[in-house]
Structure 1
Amino acid sequence: MILHITTRGAWHPDAPYRADSLDTEGFVHCSDFGTVHLPANRLYAGRTDLALLEIDPARLDVPLRWEPGAPPDPNGAWFPHVYGPIPPAAVVAVHDFPPGPDGRFQLPAALAR
């Protein structure tokens, strides 16, 4: 499974999901369970309106590529990038993604496996 950070209101289960980055960069930024906190803390610290789309890569009908982040992660982490709209059938769950009391994010307990 891979994860995508979005706002609660941006996901609609009756339509393919298109992040703004699909139009500007050609792909939807995603993370895995061990790296989702990295972009969350870098880009969204303190935001309280976020959700995580849990995506089954086997249900995608567009290419998925693992690539270095931009800027590259100092520890060499690679991230999954989805090259097209995400079909509703590929989103197996939507999870609230609140920050902790310090405004920083960590993987929600419901996803810790």
Structure 2
Amino acid sequence: MICHLVERSAWSVGAAGYRPASLGAEGFIHFSTPAQVLATANRYYRGRDDLLLVVVDPRRLSAPLRWEPPAPPSSVAGPAAATAAPTATDERFPHLYGPIDAGAVAVVVPFPPERDGTFRMPATIW
């Protein structure tokens, strides 16, 4: 499984799949593995209370999925991106070069931060 973080207001998957702004701007959709998603959330989205965690089965995707070095999400600008701690140079993240197929979405859950602004994995996911 792979994970995608998205604003509640931006999430909509229809017959043509989900196409976030990053797909048009960067050519791919940012994903993290379950082991990477908390670091990604805490690095780029600390304190944001408008997120959903979308869990996707990569075997059900029709677009190419590539494992590449990290790139800051295009929706992150300003201080969050500028102060983000670098990741290990050999770490690879899943990038999807096309829409998220509706049939590949396993679960979508609210992803609120803790009181201190950090994120923890919802117990109901795994």
TM-score by length of 1: 0.89
8 Å CA contact retained: 1:46, 1:103: yes
Deviation at 1:87?
A: 1.1
Long gaps (5+) in structure 2: 73-85
Give SS of 1:110's match: coil
Question: Higher strand share goes to which structure?
Answer: 1
Name the amino acid aligned to 2:108.
V
Deviation digits for residues 13-62 of structure 1 (CA, Å, limit 9, x no counterpart): 42411121111111000001111012211211111110011101011000
CA RMSD of aligned residues (A): 1.7
Question: What are structure 1's unaligned runs of at least 5 residues?
Answer: none
| % same residue | 51
Deviation at 1:81, TM superposition (A): 0.5
1:4 aligned residue: 4
Q: Number of paired residues?
A: 112
Q: Which residue of 2 aligns with 1:26?
A: 27
Q: Which residue does the alignment assign to 1:60?
A: 61
State yes or no: 1:103 paired with 2:112: no
* TM-score in terms of structure 2 length: 0.81
After superposition, where does 1:77-96 map in structure 2 within 5 Å?
A: 77-96=91-110
Q: Deviations over 1:71-109 (max 9, x none)?
A: 651374311101101111111110111111110112221
